[in-house]
Amino acid sequence: MNLRNQLNFSGGPGVLPESVLRQVQEAIVEVPGVGLSILGISHRSDWFTGVVAELEANIRALLALPQDYHVLFLQGGATQQFSMVPMTLLRGRTQAAEYLHTGYWSGKAIPEAGREGPVRVVWSGEDEGFRRLPGEDELAFAADAPYIHYVSNETVEGLQFHRVLGRDDVPRVCDMSSDFLSRPCEAERFSLIYAHAQKNIGPAGMTVVLIRDELLAKAPDGLHGFLDYRKHVEAHSTYNTPPVFAIYVVLLMTRWLLDEVGGVERMGEINRGKAAALYELLDRSEGFYKGRVAPNDRSTMNVTFRLATPKLEARFLEQALSAGFYGLSGHRSTGGVRASLYNAMTLPAVENLVDFMETFKRSHQTAA
């Protein structure tokens, strides 16, 4: 059988493990022990209450999350968090929230925050085309900011922070949508982490929010119920009908991470190995494949590169697709090539891509 899922290099929704897909296939018809399809089980059932409880416990275990965090499963994607975060933490404040502008997705979060209150862009990589991340000597954070916000992995550009930013006396807020549970993240150093499921940990439709209890006490009154984290805390993530299917698949993914992979430390090692295989090829290609970003800021999740001419790039993408490597076109905003190596992408699949790229290079080197 041709395991198509091994060849899905898409930027998102991303690849899921074969073993999880098999369980999903079974659950579509009948969840073992329940006698109903996953698509028709009530979110008010004891079974689903158990799913939410187990998923929460698994995430706490994977991240060694302290007890004073709430674990929420929301809708609206990461995009809704671009708004919910400043509604909760910035509305009515006079000090500016501090945002880093490191790429496409952080650039989407900034104007949404601006609707709620003052925002200061601490650093922007825009003038340099988002080819690198800032060093510590380029960053000065204010002690009185309501919070700082950054994106740990800029999915479009292929930039990833390999350290925690900010200061310990100002709440850190981080969009980890494209690297959540792909490596250890020192969750206890953040006040709020959000990540939608569809890059690393499941299908689209669900967003994980980890929020420290003390932030809720300071939230303004009068928020719409659906946009108020406190309502979701009280309702244990069933304030309205939640995406039962998506939440169940994420539960299966956390079981896979715990039982088959062996935790996020191990997942991080595997992900570093996959990325290294591809970056080593770029580095020894003598400029045939040109990496987009500064080597120190390379992402383990999204490997971005260009070829010499748009024509050669188009030929590469076309031949890759017919060889079974799906989803390699760069984001519509940047072009180029992007290989996304999310958790379920296997090392053998990455090695297949490396072989394909070696062969393509040999047959096109002189033509370029």
Ligand X SMILES: *Cc1c(COP(=O)(O)O)cnc(C)c1O
Residues binding ligand X (CB under 6 A): 12, 77-79, 105, 151, 155, 175, 177-178, 196, 199
Which among 179, 199, 256, 274 is annotated as catalytic? 199
Q: How many CB atoms lie within 10 A of CB 174?
A: 27
Which among 68, 127, 137, 175 is annotated as catalytic? 175
Which among 105, 179, 256, 361 is annotated as catalytic? 105
Copy the structure tokens of residue 269. 């090692």
CB of 169 to ligand X, least distance (A): 26
CB of 175 to ligand X, least distance (A): 5
Active site residue 175: yes
Q: Please check whether residue 151 is in contact with residue 175, taking contact to mean a CB–CB distance below 8 angstroms.
A: yes
Q: How many CB atoms lie within 10 A of CB 162?
A: 12
Alpha helices in 90-161 (DSSP H): 104-114
**What Cα–Cα distance (Å) separates residue 231 from each residue in 212, 236, 342?**
15, 9, 32
φ, ψ dihedrals at 275, nearest 5°? -65, -40
φ, ψ dihedrals at 365, nearest 5°? -55, -45
Q: Which is nearer to ligand X, 199 or 361 (CB)?
A: 199
Copy the structure tokens of residue 170. 């100002």
Q: Which is nearer to ligand X, 101 or 364 (CB)?
A: 101
CB of 189 to ligand X, least distance (A): 19
Q: How many CB atoms lie within 10 A of CB 301?
A: 29
Q: Which is nearer to ligand X, 5 or 81 (CB)?
A: 81
- Pairwise CA distance, residues 243 & 250, whole Å: 11
- Pairwise CA distance, residues 189 & 348, whole Å: 35
CB of 151 to ligand X, least distance (A): 5
| Dihedral sign (CA 286, 289, 293, 295) | negative
Please list the residues that pair with 151 across neighbouring strands.
175
Q: Which is nearer to ligand X, 151 or 247 (CB)?
A: 151
Q: Which is nearer to ligand X, 175 or 357 (CB)?
A: 175
Identify whether 13 is preceded by a cis peptide bond (ω within 30 of 0): yes
Position with the least CB separation from ligand X: 77
CB of 269 to ligand X, least distance (A): 22
Q: Which is nearer to ligand X, 88 or 102 (CB)?
A: 102
Say which DSSP state 331 is in: P
CB of 170 to ligand X, least distance (A): 21
Active site residue 256: no
- Pairwise CA distance, residues 120 & 275, whole Å: 33
Which residues are CB-contacts of 157 (< 8 A; sequence separation ≥ 6)?
102, 103, 104, 130, 131, 292, 293, 302, 304, 334
CB of 197 to ligand X, least distance (A): 8
Active site residue 123: no
Q: Which is nearer to ligand X, 175 or 228 (CB)?
A: 175
Q: Please check whether residue 331 is in contact with residue 338, taking contact to mean a CB–CB distance below 8 angstroms.
A: yes
Q: What positions carry a catalytic annotation?
A: 105, 175, 199
